[in-house]
Structure 1
């Protein structure tokens, strides 16, 4: 039977996986959006091009990242995931608030880079958690 700590670690691992996937998809979405914007209405997906959808997605990804990466830091005490994710979050937030009013290209570049940085933070967090789990299980034998 899994301990309460192992269950919590598994839950945060799932949160990191969702966050990594969401951030990565966000980055791909933002990189591709300028090229596929004209085709979205043709396939019934015009909502994917809306600023409201994008802002909601960024809000979700940001909240998930803060919880998952903050919790990961408390477990492994390694700052790298946060050092990757924080600039990513800043780029995402600036990209969906201010940059979209100035230039679609600036907006796309900022949000794409932000999404990739955020995904990288989640991936590193997962790796550090896995290393920590192996270290703890190694001492238990």
Structure 2
């Protein structure tokens, strides 16, 4: 039970981080000129973006992979891999001017993977709880 709540918290943090990543990617060109004026110019540095991606990867890896053992549904894993693939391909192979149009799809794909993972875990918990109640009643 405690592990389930921790994993649900990880999914909620993962959803938030992924949506923030998508927003960051979509509005980065606009904010690029404003960040130094606002005193948050460090977000322009490449290390901030790498840290955001690694943070999302760590949370997603722990949350989605551990929950897969419970719900056995591959869709969150596929969406997770798709999201990180989009991010990787855009950063490595596409011109910088296409990033704001494509990268948000990677972040939103990861957020949706967390959302589905959260729902699948909830269904498994309800199913398990219901079966436990039935077994206890028959004893």
Q: Mark yes or no: TM-score above 0.5.
A: yes
Q: How much has 1:81 moved relative to structure 2?
A: 0.6
Equivalent of 1:40, from 26, 31, 35?
Answer: 35
1:56 equivalent to 2:57? Answer: no
Residues in 2 aligned to 1:122 and 1:8: alpha-carbon distance in whole angstroms: 16
1:109 equivalent to 2:89? Answer: no
- Root-mean-square deviation (CA), in Å? 1.4
Equivalent of 2:5, from 2, 6, 10?
Answer: 10
Residues in 1 aligned to 2:55 and 2:66: alpha-carbon distance in whole angstroms: 17
- Counterpart of 1:69 in structure 2 is 64
The TM-score normalised by the length of structure 1 is: 0.87
Q: How much has 1:50 moved relative to structure 2?
A: 1.8
Residues in 2 aligned to 1:92 and 1:82: alpha-carbon distance in whole angstroms: 15
Equivalent of 2:122, from 110, 122, 130?
Answer: 130
1:86-121 CA-partner distances (Å, limit 9, x unpaired): 11011122333x14xx52232233321110100000
- Return the index of the structure with the highest Cα Rg: 2
Residue aligned with 2:58, SS: helix
1:26-72 CA-partner distances (Å, limit 9, x unpaired): 00111011111111111111111222100111011112212211111
The answer as to whether partners of 1:95 and 1:108 remain within 8 angstroms in 2 is: no
Residues in 2 aligned to 1:138 and 1:15: alpha-carbon distance in whole angstroms: 24
The TM-score normalised by the length of structure 2 is: 0.88
- Counterpart of 2:136 in structure 1 is none
How many residues align? The count is 133
Q: Which runs of 5+ in 2 are unaligned?
A: 134-139
